[in-house]
Structure 1
Amino acid sequence: MNKRLFITLIYLTLSISLSANEEIKTLLHELDQALQQRHIYVENKEKQLSYLQARFEESDTQEQRYKILSNLYEEYRLFNADSSLHVVRELYETAQRTSNKEYIVNARLNMAEVLGVAGMFTEALDILKDIQVPNLPKHLLPYYYHICRTIYGYMDDYAVTPSQKKLYNEQTDLYRDSILTVNDPESITFQIVKADQYNVHGKWDEAINLLEEYSRTHPLQIHEKAMLMFTLSEAYKLKKDNENRKRCLLESSIADLKSAVREYSALRELAVILYKEGDIDRAYTCIKLCMEDASICNARLRIVEVLELFPVINDTYQKEKEAQQEKLKIMLYVIFALALCLSGGIYYLYKQMERLALARRQVIEANNKLTQANDNLHKSNSKLQDANHSLAENITLKEVYIGRYMDQCSAYIDKMDEYRKSLGKIAASGKLEELFQKLKSSQYIDDQLKDFYENFDDTFLQLFPHFVEEFNKLLVEDEQIHLKNPHRLNTELRIFALIRLGITDSIKIAQFLRYSVTTIYNYRTKARNKAKGNREEFEKNVIKIGYKQEPV
């Protein structure tokens, strides 16, 4: 059980650590974006200032001028110390012209606040001492104590002797207590000052719990978030929780940048942390912005604070850049050397490719000649095969027809002998009239021709069983021949059957079929006119029917 609990604790610790790392990475990315968009936030701030300035110039009454100047002071307060000092002087003069005591006191408090930020502590305290605290309106008391606490806090930070530091520290504590007595416990001011009090007295856990809980349960304006997160970072600093301190400083810095203030506390401390972590580029960017904005704002205290850090970070940054430049030079030399080698390699490769291209052209020419020779050989082989096939076919046809011819001749001899014997019997019996009738009749010859043609059809269709089908393919569809008896050819088919067998002479065909030459010619012409393709090639195509090309 203990082992399982130990593993669970390790797993939870690792999960929390990974989650924190991811959050820091996200915040760093958001900080980089805020730094890049800094000019946009400043432009928006300047547009707001221009708008208020235009309203001020258009205002008719001192009351309106006072309210607009108050808004201008709030906008300038953390944006430009010189401008805020100029505005607060005009605000004081306007308040005097209104004869409103509350306005006058508020303007004097504004003046004290500006002088304190500018480092003019004596002048600021002189103004505060002249203010009668018992006569202050209730709503101005928190502001009065806040200024007192802020000025004595600055004096504590910059005190030289221990006695002075002790005195200013005590005064800061007193005014911190006063702030807590006059502010609503649920207000952001109360929470931040209370947490600050916890931090001063070493109760950082109470400060952390107070501010973490308040940030979760209360909606915060962007500048309020910046102040709260900075105070929370101080508590984590005292607790030596660097991870959470860095997180709070990042959130506070991002809020400051988006608020377009020019007085940074969080960004300055964040730059130190980044510097110690070795993130020199980002640290330099942050501290450089702190220096530039402090100079533009003319916030003397911030300039002094930044000047303590800027030279160290800047020196490291410059050394790192110099080292990078040296590395860059070396890399450039290496790249130059590699470029020379690459150029030589490319030149060598180009020459090799030229040789290869020449060899390839020679091979292509040789292949073309070989292909042409192969084509010629193929044509010769095709012609030889055609001749061999034709010869073989002719031999086959001759063998078949010789056999048929010998059988038919033998059969005709037997029939003639029988016919002779029948005539001899008629003559011997003295039937001269019957004998003359027999000799005059053509019936016997007609019967023999019929048998002869039937025998021809049978023999031819055995040799070329698909002749009729292939012959019809050579004719247009409407002119194709359809036989009633598939085993008997008509006259037209017999003519072309003889042509297929190599008998192309119309006279011989006419003698064979017992027709006139004109009739045979007409049949051949009519068939050519019905041809589907080239009529001149029709009879050549008929001769090819049944011809089987042997594979090459």
Structure 2
Amino acid sequence: YKEGLDYLDLIKPEEINNENGSIYYGLLGRCYGDMAEYSSIPFFNKKYNKLAKECRIKALNLTTPGTFFNSFLKFYNEYKDGNLLTAEKGFKSMFNSTISNRDEALLNYMLGEICRESGKANQAIDYYSKATIADIQISTKESLALIKLSELLFRKKNLQSASALVKKAYDDALFYGAQQRKLQVGAILPLIEEEIMQNIEREKKRLYIQYIGAIVFSVIVICFLILTFIQFRKIQKAKKIIANAHGDLQKVNKQLVIVNEEINARNSQIESINDRLFEANKINEEYIGFFFTEYDDIFEKFNEFTSYIEKDIDSGDYAKAKYRLSRYDLKKEKDKLLNNFDTAFINLFPSFIDEFNSLMKPGEQIKIKDNQI
């Protein structure tokens, strides 16, 4: 700044007029403004800001009303006085199709400054970006917009873009030898690099944690697969046991079916035997009953016959006894007894004759006449 002030001091007061005075006081005000921004001592900071304001007022008074420089200085003074809304409206009203790229870059930079101080970081980034693009198009190396844009992008954690922009600003500062810009860039660049390194370390930690997590997850998955395989083997073994048991049950079931069939057949045989036994018992009962009936009848007749004979003999009537004996027909009684037995047999077995004839040849079959047994 000493070199800048010494250069401006070379201009004699009588050489300053209305044509070059606005430029002279504008540059002098810019120099004092940068010195106030650079100085960290409150006394000198206030002193330089006061001198910068006085120079801007002198420059404004020497400008032609209605020109771009006149309007810019007027709204710039409003900005420096803290009237941000008035300054913002004024700078926006200066945009038109006739302004140059340099003037457009200057307006966008000032709007970016106003938005940054108002807390509207996203809008400030837009204006700084437009100012930076315009500066690059006109090959402006002393670009404050580039530095301010990199600062905001750094705060937004857009480290890659911020790093590229601040390196470009540092290269430009080296190119035209601006010490203050190199200091500004030098203050930002280590912070960006430190943040990048911290991000790299965080990314390493994150990747390490992910790696450990992946290993733990892989171990869990492997354990799960092993348990699943063991359970699968157990299930397969259980299925095989169940299948074998099912086959055995089917065999047992078939055997039970066969046994049931045999039992049913035996039951049928037993029922048939029981029927036959029942029939035999019935025959026995019938025959025994018939036998006793016939026996009683014959026995009574015989007793009655013998009692009559004994009476005749006891009375000496031998002729009558002989007569009685001659009248008793033993053959007739025998035929009658046999006939009664045959009748009882046919009554017990009514189909006996038909079943017997079914076993004989047609010429050898027995034919029973009516009333013949």
| 8 A Cα contact 2:78 2:87, kept in partner | yes
Q: Which amino acid aligns with 1:239?
A: S
Distance 1:161 1:260, change over 3 A: same
Identity %: 21
How do 1:133-152 and structure 2 match up within 5 A? 133-152=13-32
| 8 A Cα contact 1:184 1:190, kept in partner | yes
Alpha-carbon distance in 1 for matches of 2:159, 2:33: 31
Deviations 1:304-356, CA, capped at 9 Å, x for gaps: 1111211111111233245546767899998xxx9xxxxxxxxxxxxxxxxxx
Distance 1:288 1:150, change over 3 A: same
1:249 corresponds in structure 2 to 128
Q: Which amino acid aligns with 2:101?
A: I
How far has the Cα of 1:208 moved from its partner?
Answer: 0.7
Between the two structures, name the one with larger relative contact order (CA 8 Å, sep ≥ 6): 1
How far has the Cα of 1:148 moved from its partner?
Answer: 0.7
Q: Within the alignment, does 1:188 sit opposite 2:65 as a pair?
A: no
Q: Which amino acid aligns with 2:3?
A: E
Deviations 1:442-478, CA, capped at 9 Å, x for gaps: xxxxxxxxxxxxxxxxxxxxxxxxxxxxxxxxxxxxx
Greater than 4 Å deviation, 4+ residue runs: 322-334
Q: Within the alignment, does 1:240 sit opposite 2:119 as a pair?
A: yes
How far has the Cα of 1:243 moved from its partner?
Answer: 3.0
How far has the Cα of 1:251 moved from its partner?
Answer: 0.9
2:184 corresponds in structure 1 to 305
1:293 corresponds in structure 2 to 172
Structure 2: runs of 5+ lacking an equivalent: 219-373
Q: Which amino acid aligns with 1:203?
A: N
Alpha-carbon distance in 2 for matches of 1:254, 1:127: 31
| 8 A Cα contact 1:199 1:238, kept in partner | no
Alpha-carbon distance in 2 for matches of 1:326, 1:180: 58
Alpha-carbon distance in 2 for matches of 1:297, 1:151: 16
Q: Which amino acid aligns with 1:278?
A: K
| 8 A Cα contact 2:142 2:172, kept in partner | yes
Distance 1:170 1:296, change over 3 A: same
How far has the Cα of 1:232 moved from its partner?
Answer: 1.6
Alpha-carbon distance in 2 for matches of 1:156, 1:172: 8
1:90 corresponds in structure 2 to none
Alpha-carbon distance in 2 for matches of 1:306, 1:253: 15
Structure 1: runs of 5+ lacking an equivalent: 1-120, 339-552
Q: Which amino acid aligns with 1:175?
A: C
2:37 corresponds in structure 1 to 157
Alpha-carbon distance in 2 for matches of 1:328, 1:252: 39
Distance 1:123 1:280, change over 3 A: closer
Deviations 1:71-121, CA, capped at 9 Å, x for gaps: xxxxxxxxxxxxxxxxxxxxxxxxxxxxxxxxxxxxxxxxxxxxxxxxxx2
Alpha-carbon distance in 1 for matches of 2:79, 2:167: 29
Deviations 1:464-517, CA, capped at 9 Å, x for gaps: xxxxxxxxxxxxxxxxxxxxxxxxxxxxxxxxxxxxxxxxxxxxxxxxxxxxxx
| 8 A Cα contact 1:153 1:168, kept in partner | yes
Q: Within the alignment, does 1:220 sit opposite 2:77 as a pair?
A: no
2:254 corresponds in structure 1 to none
Alpha-carbon distance in 2 for matches of 1:327, 1:260: 42
| 8 A Cα contact 1:159 1:165, kept in partner | yes
Instruction: Using structure 2 for the length normalisation, give the TM-score.
Output: 0.52
Alpha-carbon distance in 2 for matches of 1:241, 1:326: 34
1:276 corresponds in structure 2 to 155
Alpha-carbon distance in 2 for matches of 1:329, 1:257: 42
1:57 corresponds in structure 2 to none
| 8 A Cα contact 1:225 1:252, kept in partner | yes
| 8 A Cα contact 1:246 1:270, kept in partner | yes
Deviations 1:245-300, CA, capped at 9 Å, x for gaps: 22211111111222222222111111121122221211111112212222233221
1:7 corresponds in structure 2 to none
Q: What is the root-mean-square deviation in Å for CA atoms of aligned residues?
A: 2.8
SS in 2 for 1:138: coil
Alpha-carbon distance in 2 for matches of 1:205, 1:329: 50
1:127 corresponds in structure 2 to 7
| 8 A Cα contact 1:295 1:303, kept in partner | yes
What is the aligned residue count?
A: 217
SS in 1 for 2:119: coil
Q: Within the alignment, does 1:231 sit opposite 2:110 as a pair?
A: yes
SS in 1 for 2:98: coil
Distance 1:127 1:279, change over 3 A: closer
Q: Which amino acid aligns with 1:249?
A: Y
How far has the Cα of 1:235 moved from its partner?
Answer: 2.0
| 8 A Cα contact 1:264 1:290, kept in partner | yes
1:259 corresponds in structure 2 to 138
Instruction: Using structure 1 for the length normalisation, give the TM-score.
Output: 0.36
Alpha-carbon distance in 1 for matches of 2:69, 2:211: 57
Distance 1:150 1:245, change over 3 A: same
How do 1:409-488 and structure 2 match up within 5 A? none
How far has the Cα of 1:236 moved from its partner?
Answer: 2.1
Q: Which amino acid aligns with 1:274?
A: L
Distance 1:187 1:204, change over 3 A: same
How far has the Cα of 1:132 moved from its partner?
Answer: 2.3
Alpha-carbon distance in 2 for matches of 1:209, 1:150: 23
SS in 2 for 1:254: helix
| 8 A Cα contact 1:264 1:302, kept in partner | no
Deviations 1:150-185, CA, capped at 9 Å, x for gaps: 111111112232221121111100111111112223
How far has the Cα of 1:137 moved from its partner?
Answer: 4.5
